[in-house]
Amino acid sequence: MGHDNKSRSGRRFPASAKMAFAIAWLCCLIILAPITARAAIVEGIVLTPSGPADKITVSAAADYASLASGIGLILAKPTQKAGQFRFELPQGIYFFTARGEKNGKTVFAYHGVNPVAVTNNYLWLPFFAVEQKPLVLWPGQGQGIGGRVTYKGKNITSGVVSIYPAADKHFRGMGLLSNTIDEEGQFWFDLNAGTYVIIARQRKNDSTMGPLQQGDLFCYPAQNPITVPRDNAVEVEIPCYPKNAISDFLNTDTIDPRGRREKERENASLREIPMMDPGIIRARTQKLPAEISGTVSDMKGKPLPGLYVIAYPADIFPYFQMYVVRLITKHIVRTDKDGHYKLDLPGDSSYYLITRERLGEAPVAREYYGLYEGNANHRITANWGKHQADIDIHAARIMPDLN
């Protein structure tokens, strides 16, 4: 035997021990293999209109609360190439942000696709970072958030600004409140004292709904979430970047950094990453959903077919207020010909239940409308794997004539 298998102590192992060691090693490989497979490489670049940003910090947060607090962030490693970074992340859903400097100014980007589903082994994630201006507080000048929305330093004079509760998970749709940007490029919201996330969007087709298209502007201030102190007006500038339109974003004298990279490396282009509905991701990983069912009827007990039953998330606002029914929800179902409904819901969450004839606008005269009256808060709790029956709702036509 030319070489001995030796341990570090130089002690020789018997054949049986070698066999046991080999089996243990195989077991380790089997156990560790899925973990290795679930890791994904996320690379990207932080661009400013003047080119790649300097001194970048790119972070991934498991949820928005972590992003806002800065606790538990996963930081990317910079690479040797200007403005570029690299993560190794477990597959999952993340909120990504990027900070850096350019020409002595601080730049920031919140990725417009957030929360991003990292499901593949490789993801290219470009950031369009823009200069940030500080908040200004105006004591005694009202209570709310106002300011202007800018693109490349100039006010934009159309688009929609939306206010979301900081506890919102996705910051999509119209939020708590939405307002148009006026002709001067300004906006204002009267708000209760509290903490909010504010996002502006400008769509080229003047639509106010739906996903942003190439060239539409996404606008997010680095100061989010913004706290509105009592009796203070908060002034903020919300800078924008164009979705998936690098040519528009870069200044005319800036070299497009794609060029060679795009030709040489298939996965390193500045293409937009696909946006996956977090709800779909969640549905794939959830246990059985909760379910509620019941009947919608008028005051004489006659079933009402074709009415919408809508469940508004109640965990964020635990006490029913009128504005609850302005929130965005996807938990909507219609009653069948017998007035019955069945609604699947994520478990272990609470919801306000209402029923009505119309969607997407404030209630109108003589519309059928009803709130769940099982308690004074109009609220139900959906439990994992449980079916709650007989969640019945009465509806009546509202707003009769005055005389």
Partner 1 sequence: MRQLLRHILCFFIIPAAFTVAAVVNAVAGQIFLQDQVLSHDTTWSGEVVISGVIVVGRGVTLTIKPGTTIRFKRIDRNQDGIGDSEIRVLGRLLAQGTAEKKIRFVSAEENPAPKDWSFVLIFTSGRINLVSFCEFSHAFSGLQVHFSTAKVTNNTFTDNNEGLRFGRCHLLIENNLFRDNKIGIRFTRMEGPVFIRHNEVTRNQVGIFLVPSGQNIQDFFNPDRRTPWNTGHLTISGNNIHANSHYNLDLGAKQLWDLEISDNWWGTTDSGRIEESIFDRHRDPLLGRAIFTPFAKNPFATAGILPK
Asked if 373 interacts with partner 1 (CB under 8 A), we say yes
Could you tell me which stretch among 7-15, 303-311, 319-327, 342-350 binds partner 1 (CB under 8 A)?
A: 319-327
Can residue 167 be called a binding residue for partner 1 (CB under 8 A)?
no
Among residues 371, 380, 382, 391, which is the contact residue for partner 1, using CB under 8 A?
A: 371
Site string for partner 1, 193-232 (x = CB under 8 A): xx-------------x---------------------x--
Question: Closest distance between partner 1 and the C-beta of residue 319, in Å?
Answer: 6
- Which residue of 174, 245, 246, 281 would you call a contact of partner 1, by CB under 8 A? 174
- Among positions 126, 242, 313, 370, the unique one binding partner 1 when judged by CB under 8 A: 370
Footprint (CB under 8 A) of partner 1, residues 290-309: 299
Give the CB-side neighbour count of residue 391, counting CA atoms within 13 A: 27
Q: What per-residue string of b and e applies to 173-201 under the rule 16 or more CB within 10 Å gives b?
A: ebbbbbeebeeebebebebeeeebbbbbb
Instruction: Give the dihedral of Cα atoms 70, 79, 83, 88; nearest 10 deg.
Output: -40
Q: Interface with partner 1 includes 141 (CB under 8 A)?
A: no
Three-state DSSP state, 64: helix
Angle at 101 between CA 100 and CA 104, to 5 degrees: 165
Which range touches partner 1 (CB under 8 A), out of 78-86, 245-253, 339-347, 356-364? 356-364
Instruction: Give the interface segment with partner 1, choosing from 30-38, 125-133, 239-247, 316-324 (CB under 8 A).
Output: 316-324
The nearest distance, CB 170 to partner 1, in angstroms, is: 18
- What sign has the CA pseudo-torsion 59, 64, 68, 72? negative
Amino acid identity, position 241: Y
Nearer to partner 1, 126 or 313 (CB): 313
Q: How far is the CB of 178 from partner 1 (least distance, A)?
A: 5
- Our finding on whether 381 is near partner 1 (CB under 8 A) is no
Closest listed residue to residue 98, CA positions, set 157, 55, 141, 64: 55
Indicate the SS3 state at residue 198. strand
CA distance 120 to 133: 36
Instruction: Return d(Cα 281, Cα 285) in angstroms, integer.
Output: 7
C-alpha–C-alpha distance, residues 198 and 231, integer Å: 19
402 to 63, 162, 205: CA distances (angstroms) = 50, 35, 41
Stretch that binds partner 1, among 40-48, 132-140, 183-191, 342-350 (CB under 8 A): 183-191
- Interface ranges with partner 1 (CB under 8 A): 160, 174, 177-180, 182, 184, 188-190, 192-194, 208, 230, 299, 317-320, 322-323, 326, 362-365, 369-371, 373-378, 394-402
